[in-house]
Structure 1
């Protein structure tokens, strides 16, 4: 990730946390002047670089790294029956997820569906396109695993597409989506007005919840073992870890 020195000064806490997952290059007047990296990354860089390269080529969530215009993405999206996302100018192909992913997704959606019965917010499940903008010119299209929409009727356009920002988003990790969900999507959701983000990890059977305020991480918590995940923004919304990861 590349940012300028002013952005770093104004949001140091945010980028300090992101640096635990990805190197942050700092520029001044367009010139690279420093790099913010974690101690763990520094000691394992050679080893992890090769592993990450392999993961990024996995079929569940693949990109060739080439930039594409939003118009090119829309054309591909309309002409293909495959599922795609468009994040920071790159197109990502989404393939069929694995069993542990789908079980966690199903268990969570059932919990959310019952919790929101009779309430104003509506839980939605992928595939469902969400359009997010970091700036008026920056278009991103994602398909979160689960999203809570609290302004559905207000933000539906004439073609029945939602054009708002979900209050809460859930992503269930796959080995090949880990980097995107934990770095690119975290930054995207934080920057575009999502209030809460759940990262569900079937591999280590943990759920991390982030609370976003003023485009920054204001709180976070990780749940595992016999604990129950708690929402920051929806009082009473919880999910038992053992139920989410029942295999």
Structure 2
């Protein structure tokens, strides 16, 4: 099948599914520029190549995408996406270790913040972060703590503030984005604390940000408990986070 780049952009979700059945040739100004194809997994099931979370595969026409293009894609697809520094990322379905870690952490956070003005929330929940007024980023942290919810809800019930604390659980496909892109984004947009949960080596690293820089960091493993810098007394046992 041959489609032009505009058609692909406007109906990305549809062609993502069609790519499981046949190759999609993408053209621009009548010239073939790319091919959307499929790969087979170990069970010989066909899955679209673009499910891998790498930025170049989600940039339209080999360039960074506009915020408007991201909104169009988000509205026309049932998939989950993030938009960071002008590039679109497809969020893959989480694995069991990921969900176990988030469930444990959310339980700890929920109990700790009861009776306070801070509320723990889990994905999917869009967070809008801006490096500058014109630079819009949309992310879905795995877990976040919001302490200014009521004053930052707009008329459509969407939160427009900045979480105080965010948590991301690493996977092979998201490692570089979470360790580099998101760390820099959170640090530069007003997030105060960032927890990186690594199921592979069963470690949790906690960063505290001040004045758009890292002011403190610590890594916890084995029989230790991860500790918050910002919220004294907030902790989570490593052995409980990584039960599988």
Whether TM exceeds 0.5 here: the answer is: yes
Specify the SS of the correspondent of 2:239. helix
**Residues 184-216 of structure 1: per-residue CA shift (max 9 Å, x gap):** 000000000000000000000000000000000
Distance in structure 1 (CA, Å) of the matches to 2:58 and 2:124: 23
Shift of 1:104: 0.5
Q: What is the correspondence of 1:7-26 to structure 2 with a 5 Å cutoff?
A: none
Distance in structure 1 (CA, Å) of the matches to 2:52 and 2:164: 26
Distance in structure 1 (CA, Å) of the matches to 2:131 and 2:232: 29
Shift of 1:86: 0.1
Shift of 1:78: 1.1
Task: Tell me, yes or no, if the aligned pair for 2:58 and 2:89 is still in contact at 8 Å.
Answer: no
Shift of 1:65: 5.6
Equivalent in the alignment of 1:202: 199
Distance in structure 1 (CA, Å) of the matches to 2:145 and 2:52: 24
Gaps of 5+ in 2: 1-48
Shift of 1:135: 0.5
Max radius of gyration: which structure?
A: 2
Equivalent in the alignment of 2:53: 61
Shift of 1:95: 1.6
Superposition RMSD in Å: 1.2
Distance 1:88 1:110, change over 3 A: same
Shift of 1:79: 1.3
Q: What is the correspondence of 1:1-247 to structure 2 with a 5 Å cutoff?
A: 59=51, 61-63=53-55, 64=57, 66=59, 67-247=64-244
Distance in structure 1 (CA, Å) of the matches to 2:154 and 2:167: 24
Larger RCO, structures 1/2 (Cα 8 Å, 6+ apart):
1
Superposition misfits of 4+ residues, deviation over 6 angstroms: none
Distance 1:58 1:219, change over 3 A: farther
Q: If the length of structure 2 is used for normalisation, what is the TM-score?
A: 0.76
Gaps of 5+ in 1: 1-56
Distance in structure 2 (CA, Å) of the matches to 1:135 and 1:129: 18
